[in-house]
Amino acid sequence: MTAPTPSSPRPDRGAATGPRTGTGTGTGTGTTAPRSCAEEVRDAVGQWYSRHARDLPWRAADRTAWGVLVSEVMLQQTPVVRVEPAWRAWVERWPTPGDLAAAPTADVLRAWGRLGYPRRALRLQDCARAIVERHGGDVPRGEDALRALPGVGEYTAAAVTAFAHGRHAVVVDTNVRRVLARAVGGTALPAPSFTAAERRLATAYAPEPDDAAVLWACASMELGALVCTARNPRCGECPLRDRCAWRLAGRPADEHAARRRTQTWAGTDRQARGRVMAALREGDGPLDRTALHALWHDAAQLDRCVASLVEDGLVETDDDGGCTLPT
């Protein structure tokens, strides 16, 4: 792929999300101040990223802020390998917020397919409409304006700021949390919930200059995704292997393991809702009550789930108790 150039004149293009070939700062001259621990970590991870970054389409040099925003929403709890084909089809069909804003919601939900959490698709369309109404159709700059959009939380606002606009942001996803928990904190995994201490640590690790902050955000996430993985981390390939607090401590087990409880799946409302949504996506017309109840054994639970889908705006009911995707 072509590495984006930080000096590109296009304000929305050329943020440093692609692989770099530079060697980082402060090496070799001997005239600079001693590098901090955080600087050494950033340089090591940044150099690793320059050689190992994946060639993902939302990082390409011709990316748009809208494409980045779409990718970030899709990547909320859905792995990269499943997002990539859906993302390509999505941005080809709806290349701008205005295009998505004008689309029939049923088409949007069908294009979302099996990415999971279909409320995200609804919020993304609401987000597109808000961008048209509040920002003239352009993805806004600034984390406050981004956070005010539907479906955009702390992570996504920071990610769009860094990856789409090339500006400083503290981007902390599950990968970054794990990298910092291990390399700095010495624990197997971060705490179940994102703590204020973690936010402070992440803020301290993010360098101030825009280009360096963007590189650190990309590189730390990529390290967590490819090497410092939740299960079976590849410590032998890690640029931090000689300084990682967790590895140096002998990779102790996860201290929070007892508190992480598994969500059962079979028989849940989530499964029932998913069943209904899948049938509506794949079918052409409305689903009548008979077809609906053939999807699920428990009639009372199904009625409850359909009602919740209607409440969420994912489904509309007709006079006979059948349902359709929203128009």
Partner DNA sequence: AACACGGGGCC
Partner DNA sequence: GGCCCAGTGTT
Residues that bind DNA (CB under 7 A): 56, 58-59, 71-72, 75-82, 114-119, 123, 150-157, 159, 173-175, 178, 189, 192-193, 221-222, 224-225, 229-232, 254, 257, 260-265, 268-271, 273-275, 277-278, 308
User: For residues 256 and 192, is the Cβ–Cβ distance under 8 A?
Assistant: yes
The SS3 assignment for 222 reads helix
Cβ at position 170, least distance to DNA in Å: 12
Of the pair 132, 172, the CB lying nearest DNA is at 172
Of the pair 144, 231, the CB lying nearest DNA is at 231
CA pair distance 54, 257, nearest whole angstrom = 31
Of the pair 212, 314, the CB lying nearest DNA is at 314
Cβ at position 30, least distance to DNA in Å: 36
Of the pair 72, 210, the CB lying nearest DNA is at 72
CA distances from 190 to 94, 110, 114, 176, 181 (A): 37, 35, 29, 10, 5
Establish whether 237 is a catalytic residue. no
Report the half-sphere exposure of 321 (CA within 13 A, side-chain side). 9
Of the pair 25, 301, the CB lying nearest DNA is at 301
Of the pair 210, 222, the CB lying nearest DNA is at 222
The active-site residue, picked from 39, 72, 143, 222, is: 72
Cβ at position 136, least distance to DNA in Å: 21
Letter for the amino acid at 15? A
User: For residues 237 and 201, is the Cβ–Cβ distance under 8 A?
Assistant: no
Termini Cα distance of the chain = 39
Cβ at position 207, least distance to DNA in Å: 19
Q: Would strands 316-317 and 323-324 be described as parallel, antiparallel, or unpaired?
A: antiparallel
Cβ at position 163, least distance to DNA in Å: 7
CA pair distance 37, 226, nearest whole angstrom = 23
Short-list 117, 262, 265, 257, CA closest to 192: 257
CA pair distance 228, 234, nearest whole angstrom = 6
Beta bridge partners of 317: 323
Residue 49 phi/psi, 5-degree rounding, is: -65, -35
Catalytic residues: 72
